Amino acid sequence: MNDILVFSHLRWNFVYQRPQHIMSVLAKQHRILFIEEEIFSDHTDGYAITCVADHIHVIQLHLQKGNDADITERKQALLESIIATENIVDYIAWYYTPMAYAFSRHLHPQVIVYDCMDELSAFLFAPPELIKNEKDLLQAADLVFTGGYSLYEAKKNLHPAVFCMPSSIDKKHFENARKPLKDPPDQAGIGYPRLGFFGVIDERFDTALIKEAAHKKRDWQFIFLGPVVKIDKRQLPYLPNIHYFGMKNYQELPAYLSNWQIAILPFAINEATKFISPTKTPEYLAAGKPVISTPIKDVVRSYGEKGLVAIVQNADEFIEAGLKLLSLREDEWLSEVDGFLKNLSWENTVAMMMHYVESVQSICKESVL
């Protein structure tokens, strides 16, 4: 089986997202070498490899601070050392970050996959060279997958083989939240009703919406799970009924969800959210929770237009939708949700991806013969 050399802007032990789901499925048949972005330290250049699961090896690149040598060349040297030491011969290069192409463009993998899960150039503090690196990666890639329809529309004319592969769900994991699970200690003392969110809290978070809704509905409890990154925590709204519990691991999420009444997607409408397709939307639904979202294009198209998610523009609409959802009987909407989710799984998504990967491999073999 081919090794898969993964280049990721997200760290494996960060919020469990698309890369971890996809690579966990692929690890059943492939060795995964998951290369994270570099860490700077006082030590000489090197790398550390940690086996985090069967056939999944996370590699951290360590670069020495104060070293004036070219960073790209230094990372390229580390990459060559990894390939030689780990005996990586027949492999697929799988990119989540175009930034990694700058130090890996000399490689000769069997297939180059660009799995574009976000428009990273629109994010806060995006490096200016990211756009050029993505252009180069698009020229080199054999296949481009996108994490949602908006991204597909943005990329489809930039490469001859672009395929929309929306993020899916670990259905069994989140269906556990439909059972009465013990309330986690940090949440147990909070009143009801509870409206919750899990994920990264950053420049995409609609602070004004949450502040106004929480101020107007003091009896509603707003719960946020996840790390605060790229923004100052002081910019977040703070009221007695707003609770930030920090990052939780993936296994803990069902217990929190089980004890919420509504799940929310309070994203601001800005450049950073123009192309997002939140993985947590079907995860919330699989957990049996009604969902309120701001008008993120992919959420509206995939869920809002089907009546599976309440779409709101402002705090007053948010409150109106919340009151309606709190009065619903579960059987009024859950069967429709289950019908929609019936065929969604990461296994199915990965199978479709690998169908295209294997097609490229077959063409390459025929050209050699």
User: What does 237-273 look like in DSSP terms, one character per residue?
Assistant: ---TTEEEEE---GGGHHHHHHT-SEEEE-B--SGGG
Q: What CATH number has the domain bearing residue 44? A: 3.40.50.2000
CA dist 140 to 76, 144, 147, 161, 223, Å? 17, 10, 20, 12, 43
3-state SS record for 65-104: CCCCCCHHHHHHHHHHHHHHHCCCCCEEEEECCHHHHHHH
Give me the pLDDT at residue 69, please: 87
Residues 245 and 126 in one domain: no
Give me the pLDDT at residue 366, please: 60
CA pair distance 167, 152, nearest whole angstrom: 13
> For 199, left (φ over 0), alpha (ψ -120 to 50), or beta?
left
Q: Residues in the chain with pLDDT < 70? A: 330, 364-369
Give me the pLDDT at residue 356, please: 97
Residues 237 and 300 in one domain: yes
Total number of domains in the chain: 2
CA pair distance 49, 72, nearest whole angstrom: 20
Residues 177 and 306 in one domain: yes
Residues 227 and 332 in one domain: yes
Give me the pLDDT at residue 332, please: 73
User: Which residues 6+ apart lie within 8 Å of 207 measured at CB?
Assistant: 235, 236, 237, 268
Structure tokens given for 125: 């503090």
Residues 179 and 161 in one domain: no
Residues 175 and 319 in one domain: yes
What angle (nearest 5°) sits at the alpha carbon of residue 279, between those of residues 345 and 17?
A: 90
Give me the pLDDT at residue 367, please: 58
* Residues 214 and 220 sit within 8 Å (Cβ to Cβ): yes
Residues 215 and 161 in one domain: no
User: Which residue range is the domain that position 176 belongs to?
Assistant: 171-341
Instruction: Round the CA-based radius of gyration of the chain to a whole number and report it.
Output: 22
- The residue type of 268 is A
Best CA proximity match to 163, nearest among 360, 364, 363? 360
Give me the pLDDT at residue 328, please: 87
Give me the pLDDT at residue 154, please: 93
Residues 84 and 205 in one domain: no
